[in-house]
Homo-oligomer: A and B are copies of this chain.
Amino acid sequence: MGKTKSPAGIAKLDRDRRTPLSRQVYERFRAAIERGTLRPGDRVASARSLASELGVARGTVEAAYSQLAGEGYFEPRGQAGTVVSPALPQPRPARPARSTRPAGRDPRRAGVRPQTNALAPLAAPPPLQLGIPALDAFPRELWARLVARRARAAGAADMFYGDPAGHPPLREAIAAYLLVSRGVSCHPAQVFVTAGYRASLALVSRTLLKKDDRVWTEDPCFPPTQDVLHAAGHRTVPVPVDDEGMVVARGLRKAAKARMAIVTPSHQAPLGVSMTLARRLQLLAWASQANAWIVEDDYDGEYRYAGPPLPALKSLDGHDRVLYAGSFSKVLYPGLSLGYLVVPESLRARFHDAARTWSNGCPQITQAVAADFLRDGHFSRHLKKMRLLYARRRAMLVAALQKAFGDAVRIDLQSGGMHLIARFDGRRESDVELAARAQKAGLNCQPLSERGTPGICGEGLLMGFTNVASGAQAQQLATKLRAALDAR
């Protein structure tokens, strides 16, 4: 047996480990080959003799040898025994130490699993979080029943690949909803279900834009819009927003030949103003003339507390230049990861191809449940309830802020939306500093000034009011905020 080789340590199999003994044998040989302790052409002990040496059943070693042979590490040569496969390249040199890395980060380097492999668990949203619906008011039990029903009823068609453009019943339900509630008339085949606004915009970028294309964005702007456009290599052209929405004339002066404009006409994000009809028509006229596209991000068009919701810009789109981006994150809940995009008929085929290429679609069951929720009327009832609830919660937060800050706060209240802007004009600190203090106290206020080019929209704190559950909680939050802002 002198001519045969075994990895160092092979004799010390660990009988307490959960790993089967044959797996341990396998692992030791493999490691030895990879480290270069055993080299191509080396003859290894016969299964019988190694088994006897280790005091294990011969079958145990044979199983390991068979796997090593199957994977190409060993080459069995009949009577001549078994050798480390000569076809293997010589082992790599030992890899350089990389001492700059935290030791715990790379489990493979240490040779063992790290002590803790846990990631931080997800947390509930902090108070005053922007842009999420009232999670406490969502009809969870009803939703859970719909989910359970769909899960039980799933058949082969529901388990097979879905249409990457979206589950047909959901596309139909969205088209029907848009017609009634948002004034948008489209065929279900123009509706593309996506994983949400970012995914919709990524699809638009892939399908309609080239690198370096210029895109009008609102100034101030919803940060994800900038994120996606910049990451895709497009050039954003910030166009100021005034009381009537995007100042289209400024866009024309800055870049009349831009390829696209992205707007939030219902309630500008973050200022909350509604784009006037005159501006909407100017924007549409520009797009039609310039052969440019408009993306309407109608993220919370349903939430309007004075009068009925405004119809979407898309409803005025006589020349088919508008892509309408909707999301269920703010009207159902964000963890659903479900949104949609309505494209002009002329773009339908291109988007269908793109959806097919880039995505495997969204889970069928999520889409089926959303379709049930829309079709059975739960959705419109839920929205009606939320409009009343949010109006109340907004009023509670306003009252509490006024009580806590008195004249020191000035509150921008627009006709809709999910947040308010509190301006503290008398303070020397910037809104960035104030927001940092609030966040330190666990209140997720965001500074307005960071949403736009410097100086464009003044300063203030953006606060979501949708999850302010009671007057008492509003008071408590306002008091806490006051203390946080006053802290040094």
Interface residues of A (CB under 8 A from B): 34, 66-67, 70-73, 85, 87-89, 92, 95, 101, 105-108, 113-114, 117-125, 132, 135-136, 138, 140-141, 143-144, 147-148, 151-152, 154-163, 167-169, 171-172, 175-176, 179, 185-189, 195-199, 202, 206, 211, 227-228, 231, 276-278, 280-282, 285, 288, 306-308, 310-311, 316, 318-319, 329, 333-339, 345, 354, 356-366
A selection of 22 A-B contacts at a CB cut-off of 8 Å is A72-B278, A87-B278, A106-B187, A107-B185, A114-B187, A117-B188, A119-B171, A121-B168, A121-B169, A140-B154, A144-B152, A147-B147, A160-B333, A161-B329, A162-B334, A195-B195, A195-B361, A198-B360, A228-B358, A335-B365, A336-B364, A337-B363
Cα distance, A144 to B264, chains bound together (Å)? 39
Residues of B with C-beta under 8 A to A144 = 148, 151-152, 154
- Contact across chains for A334 and B92 when beta carbons are under 8 A apart: no
- Contact across chains for A70 and B276 when beta carbons are under 8 A apart: no
Cα distance, A140 to B138, chains bound together (Å)? 28
> Pick the contact of A364 from B288, B335, B357 — CB < 8 Å?
B335
Nearest residue (CB) in B for A338 is B363
Residues of B with C-beta under 8 A to A73 = 277
Residues of B with C-beta under 8 A to A169 = 121
> Pick the contact of A158 from B88, B108, B202, B335 — CB < 8 Å?
B335
- Contact across chains for A168 and B333 when beta carbons are under 8 A apart: no
| Count of this chain's copies in the oligomeric assembly | 2
> Pick the contact of A227 from B163, B196, B276, B357 — CB < 8 Å?
B357
Residues of B with C-beta under 8 A to A338 = 363
Question: Given A143-B151, A318-B92, are A113 and B179 neighbors across the interface (CB < 8 Å)?
Answer: yes
Cα distance, A156 to B126, chains bound together (Å)? 10
- Contact across chains for A188 and B310 when beta carbons are under 8 A apart: no
CB distance from A283 to the nearest CB of B (A): 11
Residues of B with C-beta under 8 A to A151 = 143-144, 147-148
Cα distance, A71 to B357, chains bound together (Å)? 40
Residues of B with C-beta under 8 A to A154 = 140, 144, 335
Nearest residue (CB) in B for A147 is B151
Residues of B with C-beta under 8 A to A276 = 72, 87
Residues of B with C-beta under 8 A to A106 = 187, 345
Give 4 closest A-B pairs by Cβ, nearest first.
A72-B277, A196-B360, A124-B156, A148-B148
Question: Given A122-B157, A363-B363, are A202 and B358 neighbors across the interface (CB < 8 Å)?
Answer: yes
- Contact across chains for B159 and A335 when beta carbons are under 8 A apart: yes
- Contact across chains for B357 and A85 when beta carbons are under 8 A apart: no
Cα distance, A345 to B106, chains bound together (Å)? 7
- Contact across chains for B172 and A160 when beta carbons are under 8 A apart: no
Question: Given A114-B187, A159-B138, A162-B337, are A310 and B71 neighbors across the interface (CB < 8 Å)?
Answer: yes
Question: Given A66-B307, A162-B335, A307-B70, are A189 and B362 neighbors across the interface (CB < 8 Å)?
Answer: no
Cα distance, A293 to B275, chains bound together (Å)? 48
> Pick the contact of A119 from B132, B188, B278 — CB < 8 Å?
B188
CB distance from A333 to the nearest CB of B (A): 4
Residues of B with C-beta under 8 A to A185 = 107-108, 113
Cα distance, A354 to B72, chains bound together (Å)? 37
Cα distance, A338 to B363, chains bound together (Å)? 8
Residues of B with C-beta under 8 A to A202 = 358-359
Cα distance, A136 to B156, chains bound together (Å)? 8
CB distance from A218 to the nearest CB of B (A): 18
Cα distance, A175 to B147, chains bound together (Å)? 28
Residues of B with C-beta under 8 A to A117 = 172, 175-176, 187-188
Cα distance, A270 to B231, chains bound together (Å)? 35
Of A95, A120, A156, the most chain B CB neighbours within 10 A belong to A156
Nearest residue (CB) in B for A189 is B119
CB distance from A324 to the nearest CB of B (A): 13
CB distance from A358 to the nearest CB of B (A): 5
Residues of B with C-beta under 8 A to A228 = 357-358
Residues of B with C-beta under 8 A to A160 = 122-125, 132, 135, 333-335
- Contact across chains for B159 and A135 when beta carbons are under 8 A apart: yes
Of A70, A282, A285, the most chain B CB neighbours within 10 A belong to A70
Residues of B with C-beta under 8 A to A136 = 156
Cα distance, A79 to B423, chains bound together (Å)? 37
Residues of B with C-beta under 8 A to A138 = 159
Residues of B with C-beta under 8 A to A187 = 105-107, 114, 117
